Amino acid sequence: MITAFVLIKTDASRIPESAQEISELEGISEVYSVTGEWDLIAIARVRRHEDLADAIADRLSKVAGVVSTTTQIAFRAYSQHDLDAAFALGFDH
C-alpha cells in the first residue's frame, strides 16, 4: 500500500466544499482542514504509483477551488505500537 500526504491550497471561499469533494474521491482516505501555510491535507492510500497519479493529478487537482498541491510519499510508518515493540526487544515482560 502506498500512502501519500497531499498538501492543498484552495480558494478560501471554497475550503469546505473542496474538502468534501476531495474526501469523496477514489484513493483518498482522509481530508483535514489545517492551520498554517496549507488549507487542507489529504491522505491518499493506493496500491500502485499509477493509482496515485490518477487520484492526485487526474482527480484531486481538478476539484473546483484547488489552487495548488504538494505531495509527500511516505516511506515507512512509525506508530506508537511499533516503537514500543522495538524498544521491548530482548526484554522479558
pTM score: 0.82
Domain that holds residue 65: 2-87
Domain count across the chain: 1
Evaluate whether residue 92 is within a structural domain: no
CA–CA separation, 67 and 61 (whole Å): 8
Domain presence at residue 93:
no
C-alpha cell at 73: 510519499
The CATH number that applies at residue 60 is 3.30.70.920
State the Rg of the chain over Cα.
16
Q: How many CB atoms lie within 10 A of CB 66?
A: 20
Among 29, 69, 24, 33, which Cα is nearest to 45's?
A: 29
pLDDT per residue of the chain (93 residues) written in tens, 0 to 9: 999 999 999 999 999 999 999 999 999 999 999 999 999 999 999 999 999 999 999 999 999 999 999 999 999 887 766 556 656 665 554
